[in-house]
Structure 1
Amino acid sequence: MLQQYTKEFNYNLRLAAPVMLGMLGHTFVGLIDNIMVGQLGTAELAAVSLGNSFMFIAMSLGIGFSTAITPLIAEADGENNFASGKLAFKHGLFLCTTLGIILFLGILVAKPLMYYMEQPIEVVELAIPYLDLVAVSLIPLIVFQAFKQFSDGLSMTKYPMYATLIANIVNIFLNYLLIFGKFGLPQMGIVGAAIGTLVSRLIMVVFLWFFLKRREKSKAYVTNVKLFVLQSNMLKKILTLGFPSALQMFFEVGIFTSAIWISGILGKNPQAANQIALNLSAMTFMVAMGLSVAAMVRVGNQKGLQQYRELRRIAFSIFLLTFFIEIIFALCFIIFNNMLPEIYLDVDDMENLVDNTEVMTIAAKLLLIAALFQISDGIQVAVLGALRGLQDVTMPTAITFFAYWVIGFPVSFYLGLYTEYKSVGIWIGLLAGLTTSALLLYARFHYLSKDLIIKKDNS
């Protein structure tokens, strides 16, 4: 019985692994920024956290929207319909580029809100110039996402990974030069980190386009793209899929962003500790995201073939694999909860010893809560990928809103600000939201997949 699911593990991992590494690459940029900036002090680390909280919201909308491209490409690939696939890619690229520009302008408009959010003023003053530059990187990042989701839809998952790895090497090198002022360059602090992020994201787009242009399977899609010759029906189709998908990711990222802001009300040290735990949790989440893309692609393929029993079996194999992997991550967070925060701060800095010790103590406690929600976080995003493969987006959007903002956020807000739990209380709210989301989304997929099988059997 179990073997019918476990026999798919090898293929699922081969499909998902490049996506995982590519997604980890995005997060690795933040990890490197946080580790390097953390050497400057807890205020600088909190400033990067505050600046990136605005970026996370914008990125969630852009990346979430771009996921509409993958199931359309996967379905067209399953049907061997090149014309439909190219149409979906072209319109997706146009909409993602437009959205990237809109989100960049939106961050510039929203930036002054930092002064009204009860955040430490020294943190706000550091965050403003950092955000000015990082906001520009939204445009190439979301254009990259359009290419990436297209590539994933064709099951060519390794090329976005290659582009991301190259970009990360550039980011680390530029961070070293510009944050600390090496080889005669000016010491720019967190502004240097922002420059590194911007340049690395531009490089990602160029390299991914170069890789796809050289592959026989993708070359015809990415060349001779008449970007401004558009069809209203395809624009509507992608918007219908993309907008709810963007909201799904926005609702989840939004609650994690609210955790940053609530932590800022508690002070710079709780905010810095929150950033450490959040960054480590994001690393493990990207592994689940890779499996989510695998679910989206494989379910989309089976939908195109109308093989609904296989669709359900394959989806459950991915859910089971996700469950096993997340247990391993949970154990790592429990075992190493005191050691992991030391990566981010200079433990030998006697001048800031009190601040650094407080940050590491809080972060260690938060990692225990993060360990508990590894399973629910992984399952909910894997199931969400399977639902996107079915092109079911409206009900999952309602579910994610309910889970995170009706259940999760009120718990975080109350426990964080009005009880002695403080930072730990904020993360208990995250746990409540993620667990609710996982249970309801799983129930939704179970119902839809069974219904497809019944309808086909009765037809």
Structure 2
Amino acid sequence: MCDMSNNQSKVSTKSIFAIAIPLILQQFFYQLQVLVDRAMLGHVNSDYFSAIGNALFPFYTIWSAVIAVCGGTTILVAQCLGAKDNLQAKQYAECSFAGNSAISIIFFFVFFLGPGVIFRIMGVQSPILEYSISYVKILSFSLILLGAETTATSIVQGIGTTKIIMYGGILRNILNIFFDWVFIFGKLGMPRMEIDGAAFATTLSNVIVAPILIMYVFKSKKIPFKLSLRNVIKTNWRLYKKVIKIGIPSGIESSLWNIGNLIVIKYLNILSMTAVGIYTLIFSIEMLPFLLYMGLARASMTLVGHKTGEDNHKEAVRTGFRCMRYSLFICALISLTFIIFPDKILSIFTNDRSLIEKSVPFLIFISFTMFPRAINNVIGLGIQGIGDTKWMLYGQIMGTITMVSLSYLLIFNAGLGLLGLYITFFIDEFIRAIINILRFWKGREFFFLKPFEKVITSSSNVDENV
């Protein structure tokens, strides 16, 4: 396999940012939507930080699991298009709409009917318990369209046409800010709903934007295949098994990470409600850089998938590492900002001076943790783009065990409190970052694993088997 010319290298870099920038902006606006909710509520009642923290961790465990399962659609569509097999890409896209929608609707009923059981298991107590139940019941209606919307975004991401995702994120954020103002504070003749108003604003914004993204995939001429609503309704579930086979390890991986966080939240509820509030506040801020470098991570998955479909493994690896370098540059800029201006950043979200002062050391600490975390996400999605979704699952199993056990020892036995949790995060992310880099770089030689290979077959084989 010959080396690429400088011109080819520049084109590849341009391709990365053509996919990543819209995703970064979309993720930025999405996180801004969450942060606006918390900033507004934080100035109403600081107890709402603990309530939202308890509510969102189990809810987004499911939310992120559905999105991760839909990653199977992205991988398969990307590899099919890399192999110039538009028919097979179309078949995977159509069955994904039905299958992913069914999954998200099932979880809607779980969170609408039984949030109290979940929060009591987590150790949430009154009045935080009542706030959390009310908040997540309203928010659960967003799950009804989540599967279809995420399938649509997975398809355009697999294609590499991501601007529509950015536009959807901008519209969603504008609507959410307006609805927050109306429903949290009771403007324009509406009742003052406070934390319920934030949930209603988020849900209403999601319900308005989701159909726009879905219709785009069915109607846009930029989609290289014509989707059929009839084929979606008459889904061939045997074909969807391939999507699930690729996507479920990612879904379980995501769920394990969130389950680890749920257990951590339970530890913090034992420690104090203040610890939950600090953790929720820091997590909210930390999500901003996370979602920024996740744009590059998803670009890595798409382009690595394209190159794998072309049987160009060498360039697939080069692309993944290039995305990693860009993500580390972003982390350096954000880390510097966190270290220099911690008080100013924290004061955006709360006017509670005691909470701000207690949170400053932890905001600085996570400035260093974000570097190995960025590596794990970018390289991890690169590995998934090649088709190996089980590798990151195995790593997350070990990571969750480490997080749950070591954090308990450091928080309680060593008496480090909340600091013990953040030390655990750094150790876990750092070790896994080294291992993931070696796996992606070495490929078949690392730990005597099977060689990387694309996961698609020809469309004729698919037709015969379904």
TM-score by length of 2: 0.89
Partner of residue 312 from structure 1, selected from 317, 327, 331:
317
Question: What SS does the corresponding residue of 1:226 show, helix, strand or coil?
Answer: helix
Once the two structures are superposed, what CA deviation does each residue of 1:412-450 show, in whole Å capped at 9, x if it has no partner? 222223444212221222222222222222222122277
Q: Greater CA deviation, 197-206 or 229-238?
A: 229-238
What are the ranges of 5 or more consecutive residues in structure 1 without an aligned counterpart? 347-355
Report the alpha carbon displacement of residue 247 of structure 1 after superposing the two structures with TM. Answer: 1.3
Task: Measure the CA separation in 2 of the matches of 1:359 and 1:191.
Answer: 23
Seen in structure 2, the aligned counterparts of structure 1 residues 440 and 225 have a Cα distance that, compared at 3 Å, is farther
Name the CA distance, whole Å, in 2 between partners of 1:39 and 1:376: 33
* Alpha-carbon offset, residue 32 of structure 1: 1.2
1:299 counterpart = 2:304: yes
Q: Give the gaps of 5 or more residues in structure 2.
A: 455-466
Among residues 335, 341, 363, which one is paired with 2:346 in the alignment?
341
Counterpart of 1:439?
A: 434
Q: 1:49 to 1:85 in 2, by over 3 A?
A: same
2:379 to 379, 383, 395: 383
Query: What is the CA distance between 1:316 and its match in structure 2?
Result: 1.6
Aligned to 2:410: 415
Look up the equivalent residue of 2:40 and give its one-letter code: M
**CA shift digits 1:33-59 (9 cap, x unpaired):** 111111111112211111111212111
- Residue 56 (structure 1) aligned with residue 52 (structure 2): no
Work out the CA distance in 1 between the residues paired with 2:452 and 2:129: 57
Alpha-carbon distance in structure 2 between the residues aligned to 1:137 and 1:106: 13
> Of 184, 200, 204, which aligns to 2:205?
200
- Between the aligned partners of 2:160 and 2:297, the Cα distance in structure 1 is 13
**Aligned residue for 2:280?**
275
2:211 & 2:327 partners in 1: Cα distance?
Answer: 32
Q: Distance in 2 between matches of 1:172 and 1:454?
A: 45
Matched-pair contact (CA < 8 Å) for 1:315–1:386:
yes
1:370 to 360, 366, 371: 366
Q: Distance in 2 between matches of 1:206 and 1:394?
A: 32
Partner of 2:425: 430
The 2-side partners of 1:60 and 1:224 are apart by 26
TM-score by length of 1: 0.91
The CA deviation string for residues 69-99 of structure 1, in whole angstroms up to 9 with x for no partner, is 1111111111222211111111211121111
Quote the offset at 1:341 in angstroms: 1.1
Report the secondary structure of 1:217's partner residue: coil
Q: Pick from 20, 25, 41: which aligns with 1:21? A: 25
Pair 216,449 (structure 1): closer, same or farther in 2 beyond 3 Å: farther
Structure 1: distance between partners of 2:260 and 2:366: 14
Contact 1:56 1:257 in 2 (8 A): no
Distance 1:439 1:111 in 2: 40
State how far apart, in whole Å, the 2-side matches of 1:52 and 1:117 are: 12
> 101-110 vs 215-224, which deviates more?
215-224
Task: Work out the number of aligned pairs and report it.
Answer: 446
Could you tell me which amino acid in structure 2 is paired with residue 416 of structure 1? I
Task: Note if contact 2:402-2:428 (Cα within 8 Å) is conserved in structure 1.
Answer: yes
Partner of 1:349: none
Structure 1 residue corresponding to 2:97, chosen from 93, 100, 105: 93
Find the partner of 1:321 among 326, 329, 337: 326
Structure 1 residue 121: deviation in Å?
Answer: 1.6
Kindly indicate whether residue 250 of structure 2 is the aligned counterpart of residue 245 of structure 1. Answer: yes
- Is the contact between residue 39 and residue 349 of structure 2 (CA under 8 Å) also seen in structure 1? yes
Whether the aligned pair in 2 keeps the contact of 1:308 and 1:449 (CA below 8 Å) is no
Q: Equivalent residue for 1:68?
A: 72
Distance 2:237 2:182 in 1: 47
Q: Is the CA contact 2:308–2:453 (under 8 Å) kept in the aligned structure 1?
A: no
What amino acid maps onto 2:174 in structure 1?
I
What aligned pairs does 1:74-113 form with structure 2 within 5 A after superposition? 74-107=78-111, 108-113=113-118
Cα distance in 2, alignment partners of residues 420 and 69 from structure 1: 45
Evaluate the alpha carbon distance shift between residue 419 and residue 154 of structure 1 in structure 2; reply closer, same or farther with a 3 A threshold: same
Farther off after superposition, 426-435 or 167-176: 426-435
Shift of 1:213: 4.0
Aligned to 2:458: none
Match of residue 145, structure 2, among 127, 140, 152: 140
Q: Equivalent residue for 1:32? A: 36
SS in 2 for 1:186: coil
What SS is found at the alignment partner of 1:218? coil
C-alpha distance after superposition, 1:160-179 (max 9, x if no partner): 11112111111111110000
Q: Which moved more, 1:388-397 or 1:249-258?
A: 249-258
Aligned counterpart for 1:231 among listed residues 223, 236, 251:
236
1:225 to partner: Cα distance:
4.4
- For residues 395-421 of structure 1, the C-alpha deviation after alignment (integer angstroms, 9 at most, x for no partner) is 22111111x222222222222234442
Over residues 104-146 of structure 1, what are the superposed CA-to-partner deviations in whole Å (9 max), with x where a residue is unaligned?
2222335323234333421112111111111221222332111
Deviation at 1:29, TM superposition (A): 2.1
- Conservation of the 8 A alpha-carbon contact between 1:70 and 1:297: yes
Distance change in 2, residues 1:89/1:371 (3 Å):
same
Equivalent of 1:406 in 389, 401, 406:
401
CA contact (8 A) 1:42 1:269 kept: no
Q: Secondary structure at the match of 1:185?
A: coil
Contact 2:51/2:129 (8 A) holds in 1:
yes
Quick one: distance in 2 between partners of 1:401 and 1:127? 28
**Structure 2: distance between partners of 1:225 and 1:270:** 51
Aligned partners of 2:13, 2:269: CA distance in 1, in Å? 42
